[in-house]
Amino acid sequence: MSSFRTASLTLGAVIVAGVAAVGGYAALGGKMPGARDCPGGLAGASIGGPFELTGKSGEVIGSETLKGGPSLVYFGFATCPDVCPMELAEIASAVDILSDEHDLSVRSVFITVDPERDTVEKVGEYASFFHDDMIGLTGTPQEISKTAKAFRVYYNRVADPDFADGYTMDHSNIIYLLDEKANYRTYYKGSEATAESIASGVACHFG
């Protein structure tokens, strides 16, 4: 079984467990009573929360900074060979679609799960490669661990001699949608989401 499939199954198990704990949801992908029937995953779950990390200029950026409009948040790492670049490109394109076609301003946020290699400068440069306004965030291993745990993100360091410093990172590939209060709204599976489907889902919630 591939590492990314394992990661997705791990996250799915956590979310399903969360559904059972809070009750009131029918199944994965269920909606809170009265919620809009928009594309995406589970809505209303206990995912996310306050966090503070470091941006490209060394400034503190976190949930307070993201308030005021919706955000798309993705966890990955800068030396990821294929999955992260593809999904960040889809997010960046979705942000442009939302701006051009729906007059909706949405922040895009990249949070590294590899703080040892992804310095402030590196993560900022990496994020801006995909979109001029994409926010790249890093932090101490403890800060990253706390933030990832809040978002139910799986990640794990794996030895691999083909990578710099002899290791790579396994991680779940989920795109999180936060609302104007930086609270979790829903998620999109990175392996399935396209720029168009992400934009459609966000516009449904906030258009």
Residue 17: per-residue pLDDT: 40
Tell me, yes or no, whether 172 lies in a domain: yes
pTM over 0.85: no
Tell me, yes or no, whether 165 lies in a domain: yes
Give the amino acid at 206: F
Tell me, yes or no, whether 157 lies in a domain: yes
> Edge-to-edge strands of the sheet including 135-137?
135-137, 107-112, 71-76, 174-178, 184-189
Tell me, yes or no, whether 7 lies in a domain: yes
Residue 44: per-residue pLDDT: 66
Distance CA 199, CA 180 (A): 16
User: By residue range, what is the domain housing residue 199?
Assistant: 3-31+42-206
Q: What is the DSSP string of 171-206?
A: E--EEEEE-TTS-EEEEEETTT--HHHHHHHHHHHH
Residue 137: per-residue pLDDT: 98
Tell me, yes or no, whether 107 lies in a domain: yes
pLDDT, one tens digit per residue, over 153-203 is 999 999 999 888 999 999 999 999 999 999 999 999 988 899 999 999 999
- In the block, tokens 């993705």 appear at 74
Q: Which residues of 97-130 are buried (b: 16+ CB within 10 A; e: fewer)?
A: bbeeeeebebbbbbbbbbbebbebebbbebbebb
Hey, what are 104's tokens?
Answer: 């909706």
The answer to whether residues 70 and 178 touch, using CB atoms and an 8 Å cutoff, is yes
- As for how many domains the chain has, the answer is 1
Tell me, yes or no, whether 18 lies in a domain: yes
Nearest to 42 by CA among 32, 33, 29: 29
Tell me, yes or no, whether 37 lies in a domain: no
Tell me, yes or no, whether 36 lies in a domain: no
pLDDT, one tens digit per residue, over 35-85 is 467 877 777 678 999 999 999 989 999 999 999 999 999 999 999 999 999
Q: Which CATH number belongs to the domain containing residue 25 in this structure?
A: 3.40.30.10
Biggest distance spanned by C-alpha atoms of the chain = 51
Hey, what are 152's tokens?
Answer: 């139910």
